[in-house]
């Protein structure tokens, strides 16, 4: 797995376009209580270009969803501590006031949640909730807002959209609710869409439909998308780039094809080896040994070392640095670096 490294590029060089829409530097998130501190995100850096889809891939508890919520500052302020820098469309999110955050959410940045049944208010109709959003951000009248809501439901391919406007969330199927959640997220034409495992609770057929719908709408509307999943197949289907996350850090990033064909980090290799692919009938999956690291008590050095079959003594000495194999490929592993002399 030895590869020739290059020097770390500037943050701007990581994006596929000259002016990134999103720039995150050294993002750290801690959850604080009287008894303990949980280190959920531990120094995340990335950029996202306009119109690009970046997928954060990793097991449950790796910090993917926390990263998404931190970008919109949706974490409870009294129990969470954020540090680092978040720029979205040139705005310093960490320095925004509550009113400025309200303007940012929905209009410039929108989010699709994992379970729309809990994201929608059960006492209001789907139509009213979409209308409320466009009235708030676009200042439309109620009649114009209703027309806009109808157009949105039609855009996400909900059957009988005029009738569905007056449905309550519980009156719709899981797949239809998820389409309605996408309509709500797109109601004010955001430039950045955050998607937190939006297909996890759906069956396989509906999942494919939602992924295809998201990809089509993303291309038509020119949105940047930050997509979170634990499913390698979903990541390949939806994204342009993949960032593999473990214990609150990106351990490998790169274009989809490069990550799938030539994974550099042992954790990425483990995820791919434990994924069911075509033609694997009769073969045993190679599961990653052990369990995800305890964020209450992070081990020294590489946090994946306790589960890594390649671990050496050096792996426990210090957190591996980012090794840039090209302007678009990064891996955090002592085994990735210049060939030995």
**314-323 pLDDT, tens per residue?**
999 999 999 9
pLDDT of residue 279: 60
Domain hosting 145: range is 120-189
Sheet (strand 80-88) strand order: 37-48, 22-32, 80-88, 91-92
Give yes or no: residues 194 and 173 share one domain.
Answer: no
Give yes or no: residues 257 and 172 share one domain.
Answer: no
CA distances, 67 to each of 28, 182, 250 (Å):
9, 20, 11
Q: Does 290 map to a domain?
A: no
Ranges of the chain with pLDDT below 70:
1-18, 277-282, 338-341
Give yes or no: residues 55 and 94 share one domain.
Answer: yes
- Do 210 and 127 form a contact (C-beta atoms < 8 A)? no
Q: Does 114 map to a domain?
A: no
User: Nearest 5°: phi and psi at 100?
Assistant: -65, -35
Q: How many CB atoms lie within 10 A of CB 301?
A: 18
CATH code assigned at 57: 3.40.50.300
Give yes or no: residues 341 and 270 share one domain.
Answer: yes
Give yes or no: residues 85 and 216 share one domain.
Answer: yes
Domain termination residue (choose one: 189, 207, 230): 189
Give yes or no: residues 199 and 300 share one domain.
Answer: yes
Give yes or no: residues 204 and 184 share one domain.
Answer: no
- Do 232 and 252 form a contact (C-beta atoms < 8 A)? no
pLDDT of residue 267: 96
DSSP characters for 315-332? GGTSPPPPEEEETTEEE-
pLDDT of residue 282: 66
What residues pair up with 246 in beta bridges, in sequence order? 249
- pTM confidence score: 0.89
With CA atoms as reference, report the closest residue to 66 among 52, 84, 91. Answer: 84
With CA atoms as reference, report the closest residue to 188 among 304, 100, 107, 116. Answer: 107
pLDDT of residue 200: 80
Residues 45-79: tens digit of each pLDDT:
999 999 999 999 999 999 999 999 999 999 998 89
């Amino acid at each position: 797995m030895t590869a020739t490294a290059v020097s770390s590029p500037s943050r701007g060089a990581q994006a596929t376009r000259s002016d990134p829409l999103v720039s995150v530097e050294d993002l750290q998130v801690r959850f604080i209580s009287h008894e303990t501190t949980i280190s959920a995100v531990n120094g995340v850096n990335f950029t996202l270009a306009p119109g690009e889809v970046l997928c954060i891939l990793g097991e449950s508890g790796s910090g993917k969803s926390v990263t998404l919520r931190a970008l919109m500052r949706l974490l409870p302020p009294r129990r969470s501590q954020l540090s680092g820098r978040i720029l979205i469309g040139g705005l310093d999110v960490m320095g925004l006031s509550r009113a400025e955050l309200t303007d940012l959410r929905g209009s410039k940045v929108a989010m699709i949640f994992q379970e729309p049944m809990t994201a929608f208010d059960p006492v209001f109709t789907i139509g009213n909730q979409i209308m409320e959003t466009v009235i708030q951000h676009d200042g439309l009248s109620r009649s114009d807002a209703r027309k806009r809501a109808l157009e949105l439901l039609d855009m996400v391919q909900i059957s009988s959209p005029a009738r569905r406007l007056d449905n309550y969330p519980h009156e719709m199927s899981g797949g239809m609710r998820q389409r309605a959640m996408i309509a709500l997220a797109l109601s004010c034409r955001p430039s950045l869409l955050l998607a937190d495992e939006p297909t996890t609770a759906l069956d396989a057929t509906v999942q494919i439909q939602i992924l295809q719908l998201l990809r089509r709408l993303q291309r038509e509307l020119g949105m940047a998308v930050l997509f979170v999943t634990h499913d390698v197949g979903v990541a390949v289907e939806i994204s342009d780039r993949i960032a593999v996350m473990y214990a609150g850090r990106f351990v490998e990033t790169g274009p989809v094809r490069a990550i799938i064909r030539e994974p550099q980090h042992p954790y990425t290799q483990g995820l791919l080896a434990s994924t069911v692919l075509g033609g694997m009938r009769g073969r045993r999956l190679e599961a990653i040994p052990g369990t995800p690291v305890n964020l209450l008590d992070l081990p020294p050095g590489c946090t994946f070392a306790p589960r890594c079959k390649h671990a050496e003594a050096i792996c426990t000495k210090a957190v591996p640095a980012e090794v840039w194999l090209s302007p678009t490929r990064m891996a955090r592993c002592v085994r990735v670096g210049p060939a030995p002399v």
